[in-house]
Amino acid sequence: METTILKSTPQKADLRKVALLTGSAIVIMAVVAGLTMGLVFTPIFELNSDSFSTQFSGMKSAFQLGILGWLVILICDLVASWGLFRVWEGKNRKKSMAMAAFRLIYSLILLVAIGHLVLALVNFTQTTPDYGQIWEQILDFQSIWQFGLILFGVHLLLLAPLVFEKGFVLKAISILLFIAGIGYVASNTADLFIADYEEIRFKVEAVFMAPMVLGELGLAIWLLVKGGKKSDLTTK
């Protein structure tokens, strides 16, 4: 016998609002992350310790905006943790709780990582900034955040079977999420054990880039268009 995901949720209208909020949060997060990484942090990560002080000295405004971008991403992640749980709790509450918990833990790790950026900014605003220390604090952010991405990958691996349904769209999104989860876990775990992994990270992640982007964005679009509208998500 099949029961609908919405059966345990008394107000479909409320679930629709949750789906809209969650989808919007994921879209906003994706856009802000693309801008924050592409315009600010990827160029910073590509600097080296020898040239850092010279090239970073004129990036104060960009760095401040970059930190603001990460805070927006953090808020969106927290909303997504709660929203995805609410949307899929009727299908399997325990699995939905585990899925959301991994994203929540990732968000807390990201908060710790952002703290290192704030410390770097405080140092940066001093009369005589210690660029060596700023460089180390930015590297600390990068390593902590990338470690957290392992847990984010586990979150996607747990989300994928919850999303999986008979229809083509949700089935395709589920597969993309699962592949993306493998990518996040494999790449960032390899970074812990392989020396100089950063030199090949781009090549490894290029294999998973499409699922990483299309999986969550596809889910966000589905949530915005159809999420919570009708009881077509089922569990046996």
Cα 10 from Cα 232, distance rounded (Å): 16
11 band by pLDDT with thresholds 50, 70 and 90: low
Cα 62 from Cα 36, distance rounded (Å): 9
236 band by pLDDT with thresholds 50, 70 and 90: very low
Cα 83 from Cα 23, distance rounded (Å): 9
Q: According to the model, what pLDDT value does residue 10 have? A: 41
48 band by pLDDT with thresholds 50, 70 and 90: confident
Reply yes or no on whether the pLDDT at 109 is more than 50: yes
Q: According to the model, what pLDDT value does residue 85 have? A: 97
Dig out the tokens for 136 from the structure.
């180390």
| Mean pLDDT along residues 217-221 | 97
Q: According to the model, what pLDDT value does residue 187 have? A: 96
Tell me the DSSP string of 171-191. HHHHHHHHHHHHHHHHHHHHH
Give the distance from CA 211 to its chain's centroid: 13
Q: Are 152 and 102 in contact (CB under 8 A)?
A: yes
Tally of CB atoms within 10 A around 25: 24
- pTM attached to this predicted model: 0.89
| Mean pLDDT along residues 89-118 | 97
Q: According to the model, what pLDDT value does residue 29 have? A: 97
User: In the chain, what percentage of residues exceed pLDDT 90?
Assistant: 76
Reply yes or no on whether the pLDDT at 5 is more than 60: no
CA nearest neighbour of 163 among 177, 150, 152, 153: 177
Give the distance from CA 235 to its chain's centroid: 27
Reply yes or no on whether the pLDDT at 170 is more than 90: yes
CA nearest neighbour of 38 among 64, 10, 62: 62
Q: Where are the beta strands (DSSP E) in the chain?
A: 3-4, 234-235
Q: According to the model, what pLDDT value does residue 2 have? A: 40
Which residue has tokens 């479909």? 12
Reply yes or no on whether the pLDDT at 230 is more than 70: no
For 8-17, 72-81, 126-135, which range has the lowest pLDDT when averaged over its residues?
8-17
Reply yes or no on whether the pLDDT at 117 is more than 60: yes
> Which tops the pLDDT comparison, 202 or 88?
88
Give the distance from CA 178 to its chain's centroid: 14
**HSE of 63, CA atoms in CB hemisphere, 13 A:** 23
Cα 115 from Cα 121, distance rounded (Å): 10
54 band by pLDDT with thresholds 50, 70 and 90: confident
Cα 101 from Cα 82, distance rounded (Å): 9
Reply yes or no on whether the pLDDT at 162 is more than 70: yes
Reply yes or no on whether the pLDDT at 82 is more than 90: yes
